[in-house]
Structure 1
């Protein structure tokens, strides 16, 4: 398809906004929706850097599709920006795990495409993370090692990291000179997800999903190609029990 120079420049300017800010406003969204040429060009530019364009609410977002994308938030950045000094890959694994559990809480594990609840409290989120980790602990080490290779998640480190945190008091075991608790870690996870525009606080220590998060879940999170295999593993014992009851 041949594009006029003006169309190419308009599309490129929109792409620059997305590359810089990861989102664009309602005016840019209107242009993207209304003009097939510009939409095709912007989608093409995003594809070249392993990203996809999504519409969520009144905003346009560009999100990384794979870890190979230069726009993927890397582990070192997360450690330096959100986690305590001396954070390890175990902290990253637990952060991602907590995010998966959060989405699972809103979407009834992995069975629904629409949220089944409006909000969740941090205490409830923490409790559900604890429940899922308890399920992981029921697997033997050989099973966990096999699943680590399959999903690139170190399940054993997730368990150990969570178990090393104190779940009752705000003081906890010292780890490499730092103190941490489960609630303080969940607060860190909350701040990370707020910064990524995936959740919003509504008061009373409760959060809701953003339109961006809902769109990502609907388009990608439930797909086998992305995270469904991990969700099945995390929730499989629960599903097996339900099947047995039926």
Structure 2
């Protein structure tokens, strides 16, 4: 296919913004939508680094689609920037589960493609995550081992990590950032989500999802096979009675 020089230049400028900032502004969005050739080039550039480009509100965003993508947040980055110096892979797995539960609270346990609430208090996120992990913990040992083999996911390690967190200070009026507690862990996860522009802090210990997150969830998140298997497992379990 033939592209003129201006189309190539425009597409490259848009991709350059996406690759360095993760987003491109309203003017880039306008150019991307107005010209099929520009759009095709930008998407081709993104595909080369295992990413996709999606319009979200008044901007474009670059979304990694594979672990191999250079734009995927690495485990080491998560440990060094958001978790404690003693963090292990189990902490990252637990963070992933915490994010699954947070999104599930907005999307009615993944029963709907549209959000059913506008905001989520931190204490509800904490309670829901605890309930989901308790439900998994109550499974028969052999059944859980089979699930772990099928999913290649270490649920026992995740539960052990959650149980080991000190929750004695969770009702304290102020949280020390160094406190290894369940709420402190959720605050670390929250900081990661804020930095990735996936949630907004709206005050009073409440968060809401961004337009970027809604689009990712609706178009990609629930369709990835690995994610779908974990979601089906977590949300088919009966929650323990309080």
Structure 2 length normalisation: TM-score?
Answer: 0.92
- Say whether 1:20 aligns with 2:8: no
Residue 117 (structure 2) aligns with: 117
Q: Report the CA distance between 1:143 and its aligned residue.
A: 2.9
CA pair 67-152 structure 1, distance change in 2 beyond 3 A: farther
Residue 209 (structure 1) aligns with: 209
Residue 244 (structure 1) aligns with: none
Residue 175 (structure 2) aligns with: none
Alignment of 1:150-189 (within 5 A): 150-170=150-170, 179-189=179-189
Q: Matches of 2:143 and 2:21 in 1, distance apart?
A: 41
- Say whether 1:196 aligns with 2:196: yes
Cα deviation code 1:116-175 (max 9, x no counterpart): 11100000000000001001102233333333343343211110010011223259xxxx
- Say whether 1:227 aligns with 2:227: yes
Q: Matches of 2:145 and 2:198 in 1, distance apart?
A: 31
Q: Matches of 1:192 and 1:149 in 2, distance apart?
A: 29
Q: Report the CA distance between 1:85 and its aligned residue.
A: 0.8
Alignment of 1:86-165 (within 5 A): 86-165=86-165
Q: Matches of 1:226 and 1:92 in 2, distance apart?
A: 16
Q: Report the CA distance between 1:226 and its aligned residue.
A: 5.0
Q: Matches of 1:152 and 1:33 in 2, distance apart?
A: 40
Contact 1:194 1:200 in 2 (8 A): yes
CA pair 154-226 structure 1, distance change in 2 beyond 3 A: closer
* Long gaps (5+) in structure 1: 172-177, 240-246
Q: Report the CA distance between 1:236 and its aligned residue.
A: 1.0
Contact 1:122 1:206 in 2 (8 A): yes
Aligned-residue RMSD, C-alpha: 1.7
Q: Matches of 2:199 and 2:205 in 1, distance apart?
A: 12
CA pair 225-170 structure 1, distance change in 2 beyond 3 A: closer
Structure 1 length normalisation: TM-score?
Answer: 0.90
Q: Matches of 1:119 and 1:132 in 2, distance apart?
A: 20
Provide the secondary structure at the position in 1 that maps to 2:123.
helix
- Say whether 1:63 aligns with 2:60: no
Contact 1:110 1:228 in 2 (8 A): no
Residue 2 (structure 1) aligns with: 2
